[in-house]
Structure 1
Amino acid sequence: MGIIPLFFFPTSLFFFGWLVLCALLWAFDATMAPSPRQLSIERSIDTPIPVGNPAHSRIVLRTPVPMRLDLRDAWPPSTHPSPYSHSLVAQPEMESRVTTTLHLERRGSIRADYVTVRSWGPLRMAARQTSIVAPLNLNVLPPFRAKRLLPSRLARLHELEGTTATVLRGPGTEFDSLREYVRGDDPRDIDWRASARSSDLVVRTWRPERDRHVMIVVDAGRSGAMLLGEPQEADLGDKDLVELGVAPRLDAQIEAALLLGVLADRAGDQVHMLVVDREIHEDLAQQRAGALIREAAKAFSRVQPSLLPLDWQLVINAVDKRLRHPGLVVLLTETPPAA
């Protein structure tokens, strides 16, 4: 505003006088601006949230006096908070609410930064600003991209159990009983020793195994920290390929552990999961029906790969201690070509 009269009064006295006037206005406006420390702030967010889903960070403000505010709900840059800041007019005895949307790209625990508040004076020439500590943690779950493979695997599981009508019989893998041979039985099921003691051919019948013990051990050590490359062009048409992009190998192991864990849980098996490097980071025992995927995702959200090699003796001792019955142990780790 001072540039226009400066053309008509181009003197140093007018120039410095105008600066003094502006400084006085700034000082008056800053003095009249309410202190942002009077604000009462409540911060909340829905947690946990899967990777790829938007999260909404909410702030509720209460003030004893009217305030014209600029507010920034600060989060780490990797969460891509939007919008960057909020402008609002807060009235006494009324709650003011603002929402910041976060776009999540990586799993893990994310800690919120400060809430920065700027309170403007009546002339909007000067403001008073402060950063307020409002602790808040957001747990980001693994994306579980392999979920799209689940329907086909479950259908195959039902075929093996004989609960789905198919052209081929789902025989299962556990011996059930003996019966006489009828036309159409698989000759490979004939029990020749039992048939030798009988006047007719005898075949073995099978049923699906139940209540098996499945232990999944995830290597969170040095091999899990190595980055996976982009898929090769020849693999792009594979319908069973789960695209992870450039990510640590641990992310692929988590996808495999979740998929196998859900299938085993749906089959009625007892599932146990371990995450190990030089120590045991997560020890997930059998969960009640339907809770395995949720609890496993929470556990894996806290795991980050380390640069320490896997302690194989610790793995052996941990499995031996927890698996007291015959069972299947799946180790998710790197298999070097020379191994």
Structure 2
Amino acid sequence: MVVTGRLVAVAGAAALLVTLVLPSALGVIALTCAIAAALLIDLGAMGRARDLTLSRQALTVVRLGRTTEVELSAVNTGARTLHGTLWDDWPDSAGAQNRVHRLNLPPGSRAELHTTLTPAYRGDRIAGQITVRLIGPLGLAGRQSRYSVPARVRALPAFRTERLLRSKVGQLRQLDGRNVTNLRGQGTEFDSFREYVAGDDVRAIDWRATARTTDVLVRTWRPERNRHMLMLLDTGRGSAGRIGDGTRLDASIEAALLLGGLAAAAGDSVNLLAFDRELRTELRGVGGKAFQLKLMHTLAAITPALVDTDSSALVRAAIQRTTRRSLVVWFTNLDGAAVEENLLPVLPALARRHRVLIVSVTDAEVATAAARRGELDDLYAAVAAESVLAERALVQESLRRSGIRVVTASQEQLPGALADEYLELKQSGTL
């Protein structure tokens, strides 16, 4: 049982009345009995907690940085009016507002209660228990109950560069119109017949077509235009570095969303692995219009792990999952000594089987520090920044000499730069 401020006020007024008007034991007993009787009447006439039915949608989806509402349905299935207060409990990171609701449900009525949520970061937020305090008709006391109504809100990546996707898809379609691949050779799509010449594989002879003509005809095949892509997302501690308002992983996810959407629009088969010392998540076998949304759901809950990435295990996982030659896009960090120790030794094994593209976000503050030399203190920061830039340049040059392409750019420019690199590979036919 819970008591309200009204009961406290009534008790205070009764004490004042006894003191001024009925200063006797009889007066104390009489007023105490009156208050107790009113309290019992209030509790007896109060609605019952079991008559309140609560329900809501199990999953609510919202983009990071946007606001959504979670609707809670309250139904009174009893014969008494339910009057009181409801608290909808959410984690602080869900950014819940208007979580306290007043209840006034006549018998058989229904109310829709809305809680506003603005998640602070990606991933799922699980709702807590709902606390309901029902108060009697006199407003003196009530009972408090808790309800478990499972619900969660999923904050998807913001995908601020989504506006670029339409323009990049338009460029892709123009590119396909200008560069229709008609090279004859081994492929999977039938192209045409031609006369047999010495040196042709006799297995390519089409005997039915030959029977209808006076020449021996062989089949030619059009090479595949749609390719295979595997995106590798490094979720080790290097991805936890702060870049602007987010982390390196956030910047990689933004670029991966744009690249994945563009490749899916091109008809490519796109898979994804998120890995550090073990597989964090995987997306395979999804294409078409459903790919973009599925990719966002897959990447929503990915967070950096404070461990060094096992690059050898990541390469083994990639090779096991890609039996056909593919474009492997590896989102990682090219700064630090760990690159030479962990990344560079394992790349040749991957590059022998696939075309590899390394993608890394750069910190704009490092470049700014390298150029700032106005004061003595700035020189120390400039020297350190120049050292970082020089090491990164050496790593990039080593990768390029190994035939591995590299895309590095700031957080804002990385998605567009990566999309342009993909379009260039498509145009050149080197995918």
Q: Is TM > 0.5 for Structure 1 vs Structure 2? A: yes
Residues 15-55 of structure 1: per-residue CA shift (max 9 Å, x gap):
99498478534455345433324422222255333221413
Counterpart among 83, 100, 108 of residue 68 in structure 1: 83
Describe the shift of the 1:19–1:212 C-alpha distance in structure 2 as closer, same or farther (beyond 3 A).
Answer: farther
Could you say which residue in structure 1 is the equivalent of 2:60?
A: 47
Equivalence map 1:259-278=2 (5 Å): 259-278=258-277
Q: Does 1:327 align with 2:326?
A: yes
Residues 120-169 of structure 1: per-residue CA shift (max 9 Å, x gap):
111112221111122223322212111022133223323332x3xxxxxx
Residues 79-135 of structure 1: per-residue CA shift (max 9 Å, x gap):
222313111221223333322222233221111111111111111122211111222
Note if contact 2:269-2:287 (Cα within 8 Å) is conserved in structure 1: no
Describe the shift of the 1:226–1:294 C-alpha distance in structure 2 as closer, same or farther (beyond 3 A).
Answer: same
Could you say which residue in structure 2 is the equivalent of 1:176?
A: 183
Amino acid at match of 1:330: V
Note if contact 1:74-1:113 (Cα within 8 Å) is conserved in structure 2: yes
Could you say which residue in structure 2 is the equivalent of 1:148?
A: 163
Counterpart among 194, 212, 215 of residue 227 in structure 2: 212
Could you say which residue in structure 1 is the equivalent of 2:361?
A: none
Report deviation, 1:7.
9.5
| 3-state SS of 1:304 partner | coil
Equivalence map 1:22-171=2 (5 Å): 24=36, 25-26=38-39, 28-44=41-57, 47-51=60-64, 52-66=66-80, 67-161=82-176, 163=177, 170-171=178-179
In structure 2, distance between residues paired with 1:22 and 1:296: 66
Amino acid at match of 2:79: V
Residues 311-335 of structure 1: per-residue CA shift (max 9 Å, x gap):
1111111111122222211111111
In structure 2, distance between residues paired with 1:69 and 1:34: 10
Report deviation, 1:248.
2.2
Note if contact 1:26-1:125 (Cα within 8 Å) is conserved in structure 2: yes
Could you say which residue in structure 1 is the equivalent of 2:281?
A: 282
Note if contact 2:73-2:110 (Cα within 8 Å) is conserved in structure 1: no
Q: Does 1:299 align with 2:298?
A: yes
In structure 2, distance between residues paired with 1:5 and 1:291: 70
Q: Matched residue pairs, number? A: 286
Equivalence map 1:13-28=2 (5 Å): 13=23, 17=28, 20=32, 24=36, 25-26=38-39, 28=41
Unaligned runs of 5+ in 2: 1-8, 185-221, 336-387, 396-431
In structure 1, distance between residues paired with 2:22 and 2:327: 89
Describe the shift of the 1:9–1:319 C-alpha distance in structure 2 as closer, same or farther (beyond 3 A).
Answer: closer
Give the helix-richer structure, 1 or 2.
Answer: 2
The higher-RCO structure (CA 8 Å, 6+ apart) is 1
Unaligned runs of 5+ in 1: 164-169, 178-206, 230-245
Percent identity between the two aligned chains: 30
Note if contact 1:54-1:104 (Cα within 8 Å) is conserved in structure 2: no
In structure 1, distance between residues paired with 2:50 and 2:56: 16
TM-score normalised by length of structure 1: 0.74
Which shows bigger deviation, 257-266 or 103-112?
103-112
CA RMSD of aligned residues (A): 3.1
Describe the shift of the 1:127–1:208 C-alpha distance in structure 2 as closer, same or farther (beyond 3 A).
Answer: farther
Note if contact 1:75-1:112 (Cα within 8 Å) is conserved in structure 2: yes
Note if contact 2:59-2:154 (Cα within 8 Å) is conserved in structure 1: no
In structure 1, distance between residues paired with 2:95 and 2:24: 48
TM-score normalised by length of structure 2: 0.59
